Chain A
Amino acid sequence: MTATADAPAATADDGTAPDDGTGGSEPGTETFYDRFPEAARIVRATFLGAFLAFAVGTTFGIIQTLHRTGIARPFSSVDYYTFLTAHGVFLVLSFTIFFLVGVFTWALVRSLDRPLVNTRFSWAWYGLMATGMTLTGLTILAGFTSAVDVSADVLFTFYAPLQAHPLFYGGLAVFLVGTWLAGLDWWRTFLAWRREHPDERIPLQAFMVLTTTIMWYVATSALAISVLFFLLPWSLGLIETVNPTLTRTLFWFFGHPVVYFWLMPAYLLWYTVLPSIAGGRLFSDPLARVVFVLFLLLSTPVGIHHQYLDPGIAEGFKFVAMTNTMFLLLPSLLTAFTVVASVEYGARVRGGTGLFGWLRTLPWRDPAFTGMMLAGLMFAAGGFSGMVNAGMNINYLIHNTIWVTGHFHLTVGTAVALTFMAATYWLWPQITNKPIYSRQIGLAQVVLWFAGMALMSNAMHAQGLLGVPRRTAEPTYSGFEYGSAFGGYGELNLQVAIGGTILFASAVLFLSNVVLTMGNSRTDGLAETLAEPISGSEDAPLVLDNIRLWGGIAVLLVLLAYALPIVAIVQRGGLFGPGGEAYPMVLDALAILAEQAPDVLVERMPDVLGGGWAGGWP
């Protein structure tokens, strides 16, 4: 093949409908790399970007775990917040989204069986994403040194009036534009396919990519407004003040759908890859489409559920968000059914019998299968703790406690991250023609992730019930001790530390396996095919494929849910807030403290700043 030969052989599949329902086909023994080498290179580049972020993010994770629990504090507690900001941004924005654009590019090209319209355009969005994230990342990491006057210790949520260096917001904006262009690339490729295949159903994987892209445009509109019209000009000194409630609300407008953005590639893999790995077939194509439409409609008009305890937002708006949130359970419940049914079908094809006996016949030695199944199991647990979070009045008990951290380490930290790692074992050979270095290490790695997370996340939930806060370097205080539930505070801390250490070991195994795999030479015969659904797209009503209609309804629902609260917030506090100062996190933290700390804090200064063993074990 030549470097530019990204088009399939002209005769292959010409004019025939994709026959596997998930779209496209991989005729004969062709891998994705064989068939679309240009696109494969882009996917590989996005995955490498994701793994780099994963390496840095998980390293910071173990540092935080040991610091918080008081096991080892080689860094000061002030630096903890730099680590925490980087951990959040690198893992939930960089790792997840870089992997996502890779999965989506693969899925779209594969299912349409057509190359991207313009590879140079694809490299352009990749370049923008990488440049933006590098700017933001370096701005955060500059917080470790006082040699440069740049930092962004504002955490992943960057709530004003905490203020980051303009480069932090600027980098985010560039990254965001990159993701928008990626979406445009997929849509352009789809529209080109549509002209070539005017009467065909949208292949399932392409349908998932396209609906999720629309969701992303809706969700990020608010973030773009917040960053471009308020936070960036404010950090540059062009405007004096911002309205903290307004920028918070705009953040969470984006902040909830982003969690589904992380989740949708995992869902795509569960729906379209997992059944085939299990030897089965997807149970229902139409229901999969319904699920993605529901996510498009319901992901965004719920963000106020992150603000149940915010003053300045009326109770009625919170109630509407709560109701929408509960209905958002539906697509995930449907997914649980479909995925389990599809896998069970595979097990029975493989000769499994009995009420639960079929579980034994599944390919548990396959790291891709076991990883995704364990990820799904953890997602169920995360779903239940999410129902508690969503319950407006029980939320008082756990809001901003480490319960919430436990929750999202099950969802994004396992359902998404573990699925991505597991999928890598299946997908990487398809995009590189290189076999995985060791599938045994892969299997051990996914099981370790599950075990470590079970330990850490469970203990975090339990600590949250005791009132232990999230996002703090030292969760012990001088004035009181925590009660006990499912073990005392110290015992739970130990579980968090052991769990976190196991997770880090798992991450190291994963990354080593990928690096060693890259050293393998290319071989033939790695091609995998995806099976067609039991109930195919012919059973799905045509209206499901009307993405413009669903996009329109999604925008309408968002307007219904958000227009009144945002107008009310602006009327109350003004577009630029009821006054107040910026609190730049770009100055030397010690100087701020010396200036502002009350006497009582100065007494505790050695504890507060010096790391060490403040509070100790209760």
Chain B
Amino acid sequence: MHVHSYEKIWLALGLGLILLLIGSVTYGAVGPGVSMVAADQPTVDPTALDEDDRFAEPRVEQVGENEYEAYVVAFQFGFEPDPIVLPANSTVTFMVTSRDVTHGFEVVGTNANTMVIPGEVSTLTVETGGPTEYGVICNEYCGAAHHGMEGSIEVVPQEEFEESAGGSSDGDGSGGDQ
């Protein structure tokens, strides 16, 4: 088959670009350690979340030194808890599930973003940084009032977080009633 020399050069450049793109994604995974939302949690029954010790009372819980887990339930049309109060400069793993249809969980202006599918638990680990507030939105169409589905995250100083959590790590539901 006759392939013109310019075509060969173009083909080589194209293959180079493809390998570069695959390389950059691979580097993102092994270097900075960006991992994907995956299949690390067993499935749950979306109609029986009140029997699940994580999602019966959606909350933020300390699980290690400076490590927290936030159990979040998405539903038509909101998130619980709301607001999600998190301690500053900590590592937080969100565990998000849905009790009805498919939703999205997007922390606006950041790359914290995942699909929320009924029956599955999405896990997403983030660094909270300094005290600030974020909007949380559902970015997957979920029904007639989808556009009204929002929540918020309040990143507060460590001391304030411990006060609001009432000195206990099991929380009392909403986790944030200042």
Let me know if A309 and B120 touch, CB within 8 A: no
Residues of the A chain whose Cβ atoms lie less than 8 Å from the Cβ of B116: 311
A477 partner, pick from B21, B28, B137, beta carbons under 8 A: B137
Let me know if B100 and A477 touch, CB within 8 A: no
Let me know if A309 and B114 touch, CB within 8 A: yes
Let me know if A596 and B47 touch, CB within 8 A: no
Interface check B163, CB cutoff 8 A? no
B15-43, CB under 8 A of A: which get 1 and which 0? 10110011011001100001111110111
Report the bound CA distance from A164 to B82 in whole Å.
31
Let me know if A396 and B21 touch, CB within 8 A: no
Count of A-B residue pairs with CB < 8 Å: 255
Residues of the B chain whose Cβ atoms lie less than 8 Å from the Cβ of A245: 117, 119-120
Of the stretches A115-123, A258-266, A324-332, the one at the interface is A324-332
B139 partner, pick from A313, A469, A592, beta carbons under 8 A: A469
Residues of the A chain whose Cβ atoms lie less than 8 Å from the Cβ of B36: 308-309, 315, 318, 392-393
Residues of the A chain whose Cβ atoms lie less than 8 Å from the Cβ of B3: 284, 286-287
Let me know if A284 and B7 touch, CB within 8 A: yes
Report the bound CA distance from A579 to B137 in whole Å.
25
Interface check A399, CB cutoff 8 A? yes
The range of chain B's interface size is 35 or more
Query: A329-B17, A400-B113, A480-B108 given as contacts; is B43 within 8 A of A572 (CB)?
Result: yes
Query: A341-B6, A593-B144 given as contacts; is B100 within 8 A of A583 (CB)?
Result: yes
Residues of the B chain whose Cβ atoms lie less than 8 Å from the Cβ of A593: 144-145
Residue of B at shortest CB range from A478?
B150
Let me know if B48 and A473 touch, CB within 8 A: no
Query: A471-B141, A483-B109, A581-B100 given as contacts; is B39 within 8 A of A568 (CB)?
Result: yes
Residues of the A chain whose Cβ atoms lie less than 8 Å from the Cβ of B164: none
A537-552, CB under 8 A of B: which get 1 and which 0? 0011100000000000
7 tightest Cβ-Cβ pairs between the two chains A and B:
A480-B135, A589-B144, A400-B139, A469-B139, A608-B148, A333-B14, A578-B119
Chain A residues at the B interface, C-beta cutoff of 8 Å? 77-78, 80-81, 84, 153, 155, 159, 161-162, 243-245, 248, 283-284, 286-287, 307-315, 318-319, 322-323, 326-327, 329-330, 333-334, 337-338, 341, 387, 390-394, 396-397, 399-401, 466-467, 469-475, 477-480, 482-483, 535, 539-541, 568, 572-573, 577-581, 583, 585, 589-590, 592-593, 596-598, 600-601, 604, 607-609, 614
Chain B residues at the A interface, C-beta cutoff of 8 Å? 1-4, 6-7, 10-11, 14-15, 17-18, 21-22, 24-25, 28-29, 34-39, 41-48, 75-78, 82, 100-102, 104, 106, 108-123, 133-135, 137-148, 150-152
Selected A-B contacts with CB under 8 Å, 9 pairs: A161-B118, A318-B36, A337-B10, A472-B139, A479-B151, A573-B120, A580-B119, A583-B101, A614-B147
